[in-house]
Structure 1
Amino acid sequence: MPHHPVTHLPGRFLALLAAVALAAAGLLASPAAASGVAARGPVQGPVLDREFADPDVVKVGRTYHAYATHDDSRNVQHATSADLTHWTVVGADALPVLGAWASPDRNRVWAPEVYANGKGFTLHYTAQDRASGRQCIGAALAASPDGPFRPVGDGPLICPAAEGGAIDAASYTENGRRYVLWKNDGNCCEADTWIHLQPVTRDGSRTTGPAVRLFKQDLPWEDKLVEAPTLVKRNGRYVLFYSANFYRSDDYRTGYAVASSLTGPYAKAAAPLMTTDSFGGAVRGPGGQDVVTGPDGRDRIVFHGWRNGFAYRALYVADLGFANGRPVVRGT
């Protein structure tokens, strides 16, 4: 995700106004949202009303661990929850040191992805490559989801500089084989943006084969880019969620594509899944999504949305279902 300014949290009055707006749109189940956390309902949020963009969530035991793009003091943010609704922000930086290949500019550290690798935990992150000046993807390892994650490898994991670099890593595992999905950052330089699928080692520290292109921007509502892939398999079909359009606007939205094979072909839905309008304006620019199993065993989609006049992106959670292999988000 592109860099954006970080501001202070809104006051109680702004939180109350936001809760009223959400309730008016029918997205909240009770006035409890005035505190900044919605009660149970189709859409909960903002469940973390602060800068927390590009969320990635992994469950370890009974605890959900969420990771997000940098803030003003951390390369990678980290928060924990027992229910996906009430969150505690961890003070420590989950990735205190970047790989030697990366610029130390914290503002260029985006879109973390964390997963259990069998012997510990892997974090993929986006940072600026010193050699090319492009955004590229690196890998880091830790013994626990609390970190600290430490970079591995002499260079970035994925860095197609000639195609604009690479951002927005997402993990997928099937039949014991690990893959990383990513986007070439072509919109940095007036080029196409493709969602790729590439095999990696089980700990995600090395690629083990070439990347396969899955799809690029080609629908009017996507404008110049597609990014932020998330892949799941439901009812025998692959469902690939993605974000598109300009990130700092109401035009940013979440779409999806489906396939019967891992490598495609993927058929995009003609209309996006989540938009500012589909939430009645209560969530602005929904994107940067991830899919996680809730405490009740059902799917949730977690994502960010803009708050306080596009000042920061907060964390939201919505119920996610599937009808004939296609996703349905309650509240939209």
Structure 2
Amino acid sequence: SSPDLVNWTKHEKVLDSVDVKWAKKAIWAPAIVQKDSKYYMFFGANDIQNNETQGGIGVAIADKPEGPFKDHIGKPLIDKFHNGAQPIDQFVFKDKDGQYYIIYGGWSHCNIAKLNNDFTAIVPFKDGTMFREMTPEGYVEGPTMFIRNGKYYFMWSEGGWTGPDYRVAYAIGDSINGPFKRIGTVLAQDAKVATGAGHHSVIQVPGKDEWYIIYHRRPLGETDGNHRVTCIDKMTFDKNGLINTVKMTNEGVTANKIK
């Protein structure tokens, strides 16, 4: 956590695998959302490769954003492949009408599904479908979405996360249903700074048109594909609402105290 995006406090073991009985292999890619007086962490676990393996996307609950979080439903929320999407890299999005959706998927497929009120189940769309595919051109994993000036910005990662060409691309739509056509890349490796930049989040300064992108990247000269560092840089827009190419820096951002 941070009061200004520069000075950070580490909160250890906000979720422990011993508290998620079905998570036997790994827990990663946390996505936290606040609803009413509770905080919900959506996470991937076990890195399942087929429908015969237990694992998928889980949900944990806490009274504070720093936890401790406990398993919310005692089993995965999504434990199967749907439309070819591996159940990983979950992002929870609140639409203008208050409905919450989960957008997720690996293996170059992305799904969207509706969440019930207490985040314990997926509920069907009006046509009865449970999972709708929304995979744009180039998509690999790591989806995220936000609204700016009435437009829906859908972002994702491309390339391989262990390689140098991992990058972030985006599309813009008029609703959560898009259509989302790839516009271009906004974050990619920089030969002078780092490689493998991707799997990001976006935050907005409350009440202001100021935006930041938080992502992981690999230091220059690093050969271990698993070694990544978390970074933050500013994200800006042009007069037409398109995202400007993000300039990766070694300095990061200046202090911006959030009240």
TM-score by length of 2: 0.81
Equivalent position to 1:170, from 91, 94, 97 = 91
In 2, Cα distance between equivalents of 1:120 and 1:256: 30
Question: Match of 2:31?
Answer: 113
- Retained in 2: the 8 A contact 1:102–1:129? no
Tell me whether 1:284 sits opposite 2:206 in the alignment.
Answer: no
Tell me whether 1:236 sits opposite 2:150 in the alignment.
Answer: yes
In 1, Cα distance between equivalents of 2:118 and 2:192: 40
Tell me whether 1:126 sits opposite 2:44 in the alignment.
Answer: yes
In 1, Cα distance between equivalents of 2:101 and 2:231: 26
Question: Match of 1:306?
Answer: 218
Question: Match of 2:231?
Answer: 316
**Which structure is richer in relative contact order (CA contacts within 8 A, separation 6 or more)?**
1
Tell me whether 1:331 sits opposite 2:243 in the alignment.
Answer: no
> What SS does structure 1 have at the residue aligned with 2:119?
coil
Letter in 2 for 1:158: I
Equivalent position to 2:21, from 72, 82, 100 = 100
Structure 1 residue 135: Cα displacement: 5.1
For structure 1, which runs of at least 5 residues remain unmatched after alignment? 1-79, 187-192, 220-224
Task: Provide, for residues 59-83 of structure 1, a one-character-per-residue CA deviation record: whole Å limited to 9, x for no partner.
Answer: xxxxxxxxxxxxxxxxxxxxx2111
> What SS does structure 1 have at the residue aligned with 2:163?
coil
Letter in 1 for 2:52: S
In 2, Cα distance between equivalents of 1:155 and 1:129: 15
TM-score by length of 1: 0.65
Moved over 4 A (4+): none
Structure 1 residue 169: Cα displacement: 0.7
> What SS does structure 2 have at the residue aligned with 1:116?
strand
- Decide which structure has greater strand share: 1
Question: Match of 2:68?
Answer: 148
Equivalent position to 2:103, from 177, 181, 187 = 181
Question: Match of 1:57?
Answer: none
For structure 2, which runs of at least 5 residues remain unmatched after alignment? 125-129, 249-259
Structure 1 residue 285: Cα displacement: 0.9
Tell me whether 1:272 sits opposite 2:185 in the alignment.
Answer: yes
Structure 1 residue 161: Cα displacement: 3.7
Structure 1 residue 330: Cα displacement: 4.3
- Decide which structure has greater helix share: 1
After superposition, the CA RMSD in angstroms is 2.3
